[in-house]
Amino acid sequence: MSATGSVVLTEQRGAVRHIVLNRPEALNAISDAMVAGLTQAFRDANADEATRAIVFRGAGRAFCAGADLKARKIAGSEAAARARGQAIQDVTRAIVFGDVPVVGAIHGWAVGGGFEWALNCDFPIWAESAQGFFPEVSWGLFVTGGVSAILPNLIGLQKTKELLMLGERYGAAELHELGIAWRVAADDALLDEAEAVAERLAGLPVRAVRDMKRTLNRAAYGDVAEALEREVDAVARSYNDPETFERIAAFSDR
């Protein structure tokens, strides 16, 4: 594998590129370096005509445990908070609006931003034992991956409020019933299933596949661009809210 920064690895397997979150000791919790490396990895894959499909996965015991609150410092200004939110959203833009189809292999935990990235995938496949939830509101934070627009269209307003405001935890089977998980695979078969789907996509005419993804996602997610702007406004406010600071500081001191 090659590194776009040690916290993000890439590997080309024929026409399929694997993009791997690589902070297994922290359950792939999101750091600034990971965000930058991940954005670059997806941009590189989307620009490569030889890459016809992407498998997006995490190393170790989890896909992604969300923001690394123990390492994260509260932004010192609204501008800094806004810049951080926009950097995270660059990952969403590269996945959702990039041309290459993305197969997600989701195992262990998909929390917060990790859950957002799973939702951003074109074909999210969840391991049977995987779970996902959004803890942002409980910390006084806000979502950033366009999910404030994606989820209501996918599962309806009430279920979206349950997920985003109450932070309810869902297993893979429940997420499949809701339409969030495209497929559910046995834990030990997850990667094989993701690779099989990616290989199938890679075997199709590349221009037709890329055009289809671009057309469908722009039609389905036409309001995501506006939602991303609203989300980053809320992120900027939340990062500089005293209650948010207190909650994150208390967690970091555990």
Catalytic residues: 136
| Nearest alpha-carbon partner for 16 in 56, 58, 51 | 51
Q: Residue 108, by phi and psi: left (phi above 0), alpha (psi -120 to 50) or beta? A: left
Q: Which helix (H) or strand (E) holds 119?
A: helix 113-120
Q: How many CB atoms lie within 10 A of CB 136?
A: 26
Which two three-digit tokens encode residue 120? Answer: 């951003």
Compute the chain's Rg from CA coordinates. Answer: 17
Which two three-digit tokens encode residue 88? Answer: 């995270």
- d(CA 155, CA 236) in angstroms, rounded, equals 27
Those residues with Cβ within 8 angstroms of residue 2's Cβ, 6 or more apart along the chain or in another chain: 9, 10, 11
